[in-house]
Amino acid sequence: GEDVEQSLFLSVREGDSSVINCTYTDSSSTYLYWYKQEPGAGLQLLTYIFSNMDMKQDQRLTVLLNKKDKHLSLRIADTQTGDSAIYFCAGQTGANNLFFGTGTRLTVIP
């Protein structure tokens, strides 16, 4: 099975950029995903990147994929207090089966 690893915590000041990192072991994923989970809520898909791309930008979000190193990152520009949440990266295998990392808890300091 796939192993996906993330650092557990990240704190940034409001207005700064946040960078959340993820490493994975299985290179067969067609897509790699970033999900956001707020307290008491389900997972919300933030963005995804196709495995043959290096970068994808979507408003304040930038995803970078380094296939050689099996490293995925999510950059949030101009981080706001509403961005405080747990962020999960996920790989995908088989019939759309997602393998999630442990999640990174982002705390935005006003």
Partner 1 sequence: EAGVAQSPRYKIIEKRQSVAFWCNPISGHATLYWYQQILGQGPKLLIQFQNNGVVDDSQLPKDRFSAERLKGVDSTLKIQPAKLEDSAVYLCASSLGPRSTDTQYFGPGTRLTVL
Chain residues in the site for partner 1 (CB under 8 A): 4, 30-31, 35, 40-45, 48, 88, 90, 92, 94-103
Residues 6+ apart with CB under 8 A from 55: 49, 62, 63, 64, 65
Closest separation between CB of residue 84 and partner 1, Å?
17
Question: 14 or 98, CB closer to partner 1?
Answer: 98
Cβ 48 to partner 1 shortest distance, Å: 8
Whether the Cβ atoms of residue 72 and residue 8 lie closer than 8 Å to each other? no
